[in-house]
A and B are shown apart, each in its own frame.
Chain A
């Protein structure tokens, strides 16, 4: 058991060490600043402990006025100097702590954004992220963590100073004080062990509580909440949390207050003990009266520092534990950016899937089975199939979000993994089925951070059939989308948002165009517009079009029909309809209503 706990301690310490190293990298000025601040705070109490004793000795003894004035001057000057520098350093430190926390969040955000994509769709990884971040937030690690570490440093200095002070006067006393502190530490550890258990009990509820609480304020589901009277259900769940938490905390505080009370008594015992020692010393004439006060102040400071140190050490342990979860998450590999090949000169794109097999991580069955397919430069391929047949998986592989398990994907004869990351994504314009529109201006939704070219923007919006609408908005392309941050934001309909998404990929103007259900929310005219502009839009580009609306298959050069991870049919619309297979059946299901 002890072996395990030593190992645990070691892991915790190593996690904290890594955290410190990370902090140094993210915010290099922070650690020196924290050190200076800790030292100032650590020495701050000493003038108040020592100088009054000297004053008293002087008063009881020779009583020289100039000495007395000098002592008082020192005491006041010391307080002011420490207070003044301390306040400046503390302010800087606080800002620096905030900056560190912000940069840390950015650091984690960037890690997530750089992580291997296949990890993102792994439910286990999602869970790991949630747990790691939840604990970071619950324990305020980002703001409290560095402060805890600095606090321990500060307390160690103070405690050492005070110990030295007392030891100069009486070493026996210091042994007694240490002993009592040990007793207190033991008590404290016991409370913490119980508390740990309580926190574990509450963790499950906490997660659910946070979810339900967010539900009350996440107004994306506001309509459903109202129409389906969900408020009672959600509030009932929240109340369930409250009563569970109440029960658990009640028990926890009960244990805690007994122990804390006992601990407080021990601290008083330390003070009185010091007092008794001092009385004894003065009584025997071994101690001056001024030393008496130094003794007592030092002893009080000792027990206060020792107690605080204990709490901080337990916090540190908690920090270590929480950080381990986080560090495990951080260790997840980032995307493999090994490819070096440039794609600068590529204008035409020919794609080949060569015997591609693929299954999602942690699954048994293959999502793609032996898929071989060639899409020639400038060709338009349509992909059809039932829900879950592997169409979107096909796209994800092409986008290099996943790697094939067997087989390879070639672009102009080169394995796509050989290209440099940014270069490769430059080649693709992809409209995903679950495209995202951001609460930013239309302009930013098209060009993001790159400079917005007016003409190109207007052209793309026009091709997507949304230019008129955009021009009718008061701020044109500068209008923010959604109203959640701006009263003047535009609340566009689902179809209009989809057109913005189409405009975005046209704006990118890459040689390979992938459209996954681009017309799902479009009205018949807009759908027709899209179809009729399709030729112009895809001019000279290799295009892949996925749709459940099979009408779109008619103007593509070829159709690949997926079923259960395989390409079961391939050919032109006419060929496939004649063949009377799956495609013909699906076509018939839809076309019958229009005849």
Chain B
């Protein structure tokens, strides 16, 4: 995939961000440029003056004066350098923080189907480096480089001017060698950059394995299946690959270093020879000789610094490409430009000839699905594993977009609504139970974006059957749900977590209630309690309930039975039982072991 943006545009983009978020950076860079450009020359010019004085006139007063001014100037410059650096250090993050925040927002608000795409996941990995997650990479890194580079360039020009003063030919030789080594550093950066996607994939792989090894919750499996060596071996396998790739980058670098060594050998040989020749011919004073020797030595450092800065500016700018292309990455799910307003409740949904398959796959999960969920009706979905029930929910919630056909909400295609506004219609409890490292109250009321109504939180906790547990906590609903975020946090059991998720759904009070196997981890008595309250929980709402427990489907007005991506039966419990079809068979299969038996009741 092509992810490059123009390198100049990338710098332009960074400066736009600076202008928008933190303009102080501009004068700081200007000031630092002046100081760092001038600083090296006090160390070159003043010692030369001193030496000159010492070798010729030897006036003590003059010498003392020179020494004092040497001290004052160099002290001033180095103090200013530190002062400016100190002020600057705190600045880049004020630019990257908003940039990273918009990236985080995009990660959380881009359509769900992107989050299952490995290409997108790799892009997240590279983009956050570009956005400046680490202090010296991406946008942040580029600002640090901009802070130092102009001063270094000017200082280099100063060296060049001094050398030009000495001899034009020497200057040309220096310029040539500079050109060659700079081209090599750029080539190296390009080489590095081209390897990054390969590295990103392996890094995610090894991070995954690292996660398994280090995550305590895999402990049982690892011990009983004896996975230690296997996991460790796999981890090292990917780390070895990463190191191998990095090694090839290093070989390139080694080559560059050698070429530079050769260049510097030629450069310095010529210059030193020339200087000695001049002094021997008495065309140059010894003071000038030391000065030029210092210039040559200083030139090497200044050039390496400058070339390094410029190559970094180039390399970092390529990282910015990753960030920018991420930020402008089109959402796979289109968003209506002028969304329709959400109609008032109750909500009726209609699936009209809906077909769906994973992007890139040619196997349809759904083919020509038709179904209407009347407003205020409770629909149960049941059917075999993998028949498409969870996918149906994802389509209804518009976490996926249909491949063909349309889904209508009160007669309007759901693609016409604003996605976020559409999400607001739903209270959903998913199969995977993932409480977040917030307090109980925040977990329940998170959808209110900070304006949480505590009374309602308490009410929902009560209705979800979690009141006793929360009351027993030391900080009540303010207790953190994960231990690792807060030393006084409390880990909830599986059933309790499930109830917490139910409380969250109740708090949101969406007009449509979606539940995917909400009682899988509950014991029979707790399960019965939820069933009995289900009526109250869904009061007058359109509700969709996925369950394998056919006992629960009884509470619903209609039942849709899925098989291979189609709805094979539809009707109320009684109707379907009367029809003696798939549902009835399924029910009997499950009821079989619950049937009357000789000793029972």
B601–A577 contact, CB under 8 A? yes
* Residue B17 is within 8 A (CB to CB) of chain A in the complex: no
* Residue B171 is within 8 A (CB to CB) of chain A in the complex: no
B434–A224 contact, CB under 8 A? yes
Question: Would you list which residues of chain A between 198 and 254 have a CB under 8 Å from chain B?
Answer: 207-208, 211, 213, 215-217, 219-236, 238-239, 242, 245-246, 249-250, 253-254
Contact with A along B48-76 (1 / 0, CB 8 A): 00110011001010010001001100110
Q: How many A-B residue pairs have CB under 8 A?
A: 458
B290–A293 contact, CB under 8 A? yes
* Residue A168 is within 8 A (CB to CB) of chain B in the complex: no
B81–A523 contact, CB under 8 A? no
Top 8 nearest A-B pairs by Cβ distance?
Answer: A257-B86, A495-B385, A593-B551, A551-B593, A109-B213, A594-B591, A264-B78, A449-B230
State which of A75, A87, A548, A594 has its C-beta within 8 Å of the C-beta of B258. Answer: A87
State which of A95, A129, A574 has its C-beta within 8 Å of the C-beta of B243. Answer: A95
Interface size class of B (residues with CB under 8 A): 35 or more
* Residue A279 is within 8 A (CB to CB) of chain B in the complex: yes
Which chain B residues border A133 with CB–CB below 8 Å? Answer: 214
State which of B1-9, B88-96, B308-316 sits at the interface with chain A. Answer: B88-96
Complex: A448 Cα to B254 Cα, angstroms: 40
State which of B228, B253, B434 has its C-beta within 8 Å of the C-beta of A220. Answer: B434
Question: Would you list which residues of chain B between 201 and 251 have a CB under 8 Å from chain A?
Answer: 201, 204-205, 208, 210, 212-214, 216-233, 235-236, 239-240, 243, 246-247, 250-251
* Residue A589 is within 8 A (CB to CB) of chain B in the complex: yes
Question: Would you list which residues of chain A between 476 and 526 have a CB under 8 Å from chain B?
Answer: 483-487, 491-496, 498-499, 508, 517, 520-526
Q: A216-B107, A216-B108 are in contact. Are A493 and B449 (CB under 8 A)?
A: no
Complex: A260 Cα to B88 Cα, angstroms: 14
Which chain A residues border B264 with CB–CB below 8 Å? Answer: 79, 83
State which of A123, A268, A434, A449 has its C-beta within 8 Å of the C-beta of B229. Answer: A449
Q: A79-B265, A524-B550 are in contact. Are A228 and B508 (CB under 8 A)?
A: yes
* Residue B587 is within 8 A (CB to CB) of chain A in the complex: yes
State which of B97-105, B138-146, B534-542 sits at the interface with chain A. Answer: B97-105
Complex: A239 Cα to B450 Cα, angstroms: 13
Q: A224-B434, A279-B50, A523-B382 are in contact. Are A56 and B258 (CB under 8 A)?
A: no
State which of A271, A279, A386, A498 has its C-beta within 8 Å of the C-beta of B525. Answer: A386
B47–A296 contact, CB under 8 A? yes
Complex: A126 Cα to B80 Cα, angstroms: 47
Which chain A residues border B344 with CB–CB below 8 Å? Answer: none
A-B contact pairs, 13 of them (CB 8 A): A80-B265, A87-B257, A98-B243, A106-B213, A226-B423, A235-B104, A425-B226, A483-B118, A508-B225, A520-B521, A548-B527, A551-B592, A589-B524
Complex: A432 Cα to B230 Cα, angstroms: 20
Complex: A526 Cα to B382 Cα, angstroms: 13
Contact with A along B484-507 (1 / 0, CB 8 A): 110100010111000000001000
Nearest CB of B to A133, in Å: 7
Which chain A residues border B330 with CB–CB below 8 Å? Answer: none
Which chain A residues border B450 with CB–CB below 8 Å? Answer: 232-233, 236
Residue of A114, A220, A425, A594 ringed by the most chain B CB atoms within 10 A: A594
* Residue B269 is within 8 A (CB to CB) of chain A in the complex: yes
State which of A17-25, A27-35, A57-65, A314-322 sits at the interface with chain B. Answer: A57-65
* Residue A388 is within 8 A (CB to CB) of chain B in the complex: yes
State which of B51, B118, B424 has its C-beta within 8 Å of the C-beta of A484. Answer: B118
Q: A229-B447, A254-B86, A267-B78 are in contact. Are A114 and B67 (CB under 8 A)?
A: no
Which chain A residues border B550 with CB–CB below 8 Å? Answer: 524, 593-594
Nearest CB of A to B228, in Å: 4
Q: A256-B86, A449-B229, A487-B117 are in contact. Are A233 and B594 (CB under 8 A)?
A: no
B268–A79 contact, CB under 8 A? yes
Complex: A250 Cα to B90 Cα, angstroms: 6
B590–A594 contact, CB under 8 A? yes
Q: A264-B78, A491-B358 are in contact. Are A217 and B107 (CB under 8 A)?
A: yes
Contact with A along B160-198 (1 / 0, CB 8 A): 000000000000000000000000000000000000000
A525–B118 contact, CB under 8 A? no
State which of B214, B221, B269 has its C-beta within 8 Å of the C-beta of A435. Answer: B221
* Residue B157 is within 8 A (CB to CB) of chain A in the complex: no
State which of B54, B290, B504 has its C-beta within 8 Å of the C-beta of A228. Answer: B504
- With A223-B394, A593-B551 known, 5 other A-B pairs at CB within 8 A are A113-B213, A253-B89, A264-B78, A586-B523, A594-B550
Which chain A residues border B101 with CB–CB below 8 Å? Answer: 235, 238-239, 242
Nearest CB of A to B76, in Å: 9
Complex: A123 Cα to B482 Cα, angstroms: 10
Contact with A along B421-448 (1 / 0, CB 8 A): 0011010101110101110001000110
Complex: A555 Cα to B434 Cα, angstroms: 34
* Residue B27 is within 8 A (CB to CB) of chain A in the complex: no
Q: A127-B487, A264-B81 are in contact. Are A253 and B108 (CB under 8 A)?
A: no
Chain A residue with the shortest CB-CB distance to B69: A272
Nearest CB of B to A51, in Å: 10
State which of B272-280, B367-375, B403-411 sits at the interface with chain A. Answer: B272-280
Nearest CB of B to A381, in Å: 17
